Amino acid sequence: MQAVSMHADTQRYARCIAASKRIRWDIDRDVIRDRSFDLGHKFLPDGLSLVDELPFLTPSEQRFLSQVQGRTYANMFGLVERFIGAKVLELSRDHWFGDQVALEALVRFSDEELKHQELFRRIERLAAYGMPDGYHFDVQPNDVAAFVLSKRTWAVLALTCHLELFTQAHYRASIGTAPDLSELFKDVFLFHWREESQHAIVDELEWIRENAKVSAMERDAAVDDLIALVGGVDEILQGRAKADTAYFMRVIRGTQDAPRAMEVEAAVLKAYRWTYIVSGVLEPRFRKLLGEMVDATQMARIEAAMAPLLYAMPASGAPVPAMAA
């Protein structure tokens, strides 16, 4: 039975390699194509930005807020891909003298993550060129990576799988289908989605492999690590909501302390918690994987930690589709 399972896993790694070769893209030739951002369009759809929940903003103000949030969305992916790439390289060691197909899949994964980091650095420069001065993304990728990678591998893979799956959900359910977004922004996340589709499968395989290795006691400790990682993500989101709101209010009102600034900040934080935490936690594939790995007591701890964040869902009840992993 184990041999059959290993063979099946090798086939899944092989399919990821084949897809990686087939959909390989170049930043300049395929994505940017000598374009700049058209600031007459939103970057993020309302289902992620939740700007439609701020009716006191004018349409142009809602559009600008979605652009601020979209700029942070790209920067957040550049941020997390630093630790994901490092972890994937570390995991590849387990396959050096074993499954060479799995090794190739992980090497390709890490190569693509490096490309994605460069893509998001390029996108930040393009956004900075067109948008008003004053935006800063001060979260340091290496500091975040050091914090994340200090946790147990099981927890890091759980967080990574969560991120990869919500990336798929966002594009399929929201970004890819929205009619009024910047074409360049949509293309960035179209091409990102194409490669991340394979990464989500590799993440799942590696998380399952790690889960089979750890003891019950180690898994229990890893659940605490996962809760700590989610707390760390939320701390970043609180800082970004404050910084992005201050920038937005300075641009549209001339001061970050303008009336209704607190309402805007609360809405932005809600949107960020929905986008980067809750939408992933509710993603059916992630819930299934997690539920198969933890016991009832551990799941109760995770749910208790998540409970204060679960208010952060769109008033419109935006769906989260299952991923075909």
**300 vs 7, more confident:** 300
Domain spanning 2-309 has what CATH number?
Answer: 1.10.620.20
Please, what's the b/e burial string for 153-169 (b: 16 or more CB within 10 A of its CB; e: otherwise)?
A: bbbbbbbbbbbbbbbbb
Encode pLDDT of 46-62 as tens digits.
Answer: 999 999 999 999 999 99
Answer yes or no: is pLDDT of 287 > 60: yes
Handedness of CA 161, 155, 301, 297 (dihedral sign): positive
Q: What is the pLDDT of residues 252-279, one digit of tens each?
A: 988 777 889 999 999 999 999 999 999 9
- Give me the pLDDT at residue 259, please: 85
Share of the chain above pLDDT 90, in %: 90
Average confidence (pLDDT) over 152-175? 96
- Position 215 pLDDT exceeds 90: yes
Phi and psi torsions of 284, nearest 5°: -60, -40
d(CA 134, CA 128): 9
The tokens describing 41, both together, are 């369009």
Instruction: State the pLDDT at residue 258.
Output: 80
In terms of Cβ atoms closer than 10 Å to its own Cβ (0-12, 13-18, 19+), residue 292 is exposed
Instruction: Tell me what the mean pLDDT of segment 4-28 comes to.
Output: 88
What Cα–Cα distance (Å) separates residue 154 from each residue in 106, 157, 161, 212? 17, 5, 11, 10
pTM of the model: 0.93
**What is the average per-residue pLDDT within 182-196?**
96
What residues does each domain of the chain span? 2-309
Structure tokens at 101: 């197909």
Nearest to 125 by CA among 108, 143, 137: 137
